[in-house]
């Protein structure tokens, strides 16, 4: 049952992704000012959405781990941080590629770009902490606090285009509070891209959490082997 | 088709990075499962040896 659900989930993800690609390259019209390069926006925004959702899950997992002490929440936080890091990297790269023809530069110290880079570095630190330490309950608690504090940057990124002077476009809802996408096909393409990347996030989280469970199981087995070997030596 | 190379580069990087991550996860998962199977087999052998030992000692 679980296996067929997993296969179905993967099929749905691939189907959604193929539909999104078709819409981006063959269906959605060009934006009037930016032209062809605006099409980067659909996957760029989708990557940002799943990165923020993943980092919010790190905070939620961390809070529940500190509260209930169950390993499953720590696994969720760790898996979400790794997946979020992948999508946050994609946000920075695709944003940079879009910026070159539109702004004439690969990078500028704009408020949204800078706060996103800070988020990337914070979770880079989180992953380094987890990768370089022994998986003890103390490190898990420390990582949970780190993950919760770092997630505070997510709302800052979201409101940054309204809080500070910035050149980053506020496309979905403009600074004037109006709808930024001029054609309904653009909205549909964005929604399908968001659905495809959300499905991808769920797939990666499931896979990564299964791996963390397997790693725990291996650790228990190794402990039991050590005990059995000690019993043999006595 | 102005700026097409930028569009192509952005989408290529997205798919290459996602594909590399999937390959990385699958290979790590396969390695982990192999190590679990090997550890289970080793533990079963050790348990068998530990269980047989008192009988061996008693028979000798």
Dihedral over Cα of A119, A120, A121, A124: its sign = positive
Position of tokens 């926006």?
Answer: A41
Kindly report which listed range (A47-56, A150-159, A179-188, B4-13) carries the lowest average pLDDT score: A179-188
Domain edges within chain A: 2-233
Domain edges within chain B: 25-52
pLDDT tens figures, A88-112:
999 999 999 999 998 889 999 988 9
C-alpha–C-alpha distance, residues A126 and A146, integer Å: 7
Taking the model in full, what pTM does it have?
0.88
Domain A2-233 has CATH 1.10.3470: no
Residue of A nearest to B35 (CA): A218
Residue of A nearest to B48 (CA): A228
Interface ipTM = 0.87
Best residue in B23, B25, B53 for a mutation probing chain A (most A CBs within 10 Å) = B25
Residue A76 burial by CB count (10 A; 0-12/13-18/19+): exposed, middle or buried? buried
């Amino acid at each position: 049952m679980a296996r067929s659900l997993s296969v179905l989930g993967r099929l749905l993800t691939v189907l959604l992704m193929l539909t999104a690609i078709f819409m981006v390259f063959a269906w959605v019209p060009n934006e009037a000012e930016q032209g062809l390069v605006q099409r980067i926006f659909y996957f760029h925004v989708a990557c940002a959405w799943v990165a923020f959702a993943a980092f919010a899950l790190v905070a939620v997992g961390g809070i529940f781990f500190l509260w209930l002490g169950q390993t499953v929440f720590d696994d969720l936080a760790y898996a979400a941080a790794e997946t979020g890091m992948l999508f946050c990297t994609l946000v920075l790269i695709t944003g940079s590629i879009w910026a070159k023809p539109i702004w004439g530069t690969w990078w500028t110290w704009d408020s949204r770009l800078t706060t996103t880079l800070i988020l990337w570095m914070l979770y880079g630190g989180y992953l380094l902490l987890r990768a370089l330490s022994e998986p003890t309950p103390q490190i898990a608690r420390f990582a949970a606090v780190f993950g919760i504090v770092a997630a505070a940057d997510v709302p800052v990124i979201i409101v940054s285009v309204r809080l500070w002077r910035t050149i980053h476009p506020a496309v979905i809802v403009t600074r004037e509070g109006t709808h930024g996408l001029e054609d309904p096909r653009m909205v549909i393409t964005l929604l399908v891209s968001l659905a495809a990347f959300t499905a991808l996030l769920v797939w990666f989280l499931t896979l990564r959490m299964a791996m963390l469970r397997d790693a725990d199981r291996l650790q228990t087995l190794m402990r039991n082997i050590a005990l059995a070997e000690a019993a043999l030596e006595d | 088709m102005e700026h097409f190379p930028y569009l192509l580069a952005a989408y290529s990087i997205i798919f290459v990075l996602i594909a590399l991550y999937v390959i990385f996860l699958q290979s790590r998962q396969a390695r982990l499962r192999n190590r679990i199977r090997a550890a289970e087999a080793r533990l079963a052998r050790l348990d068998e040896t530990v269980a047989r030992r008192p009988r061996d000692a008693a028979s000798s």
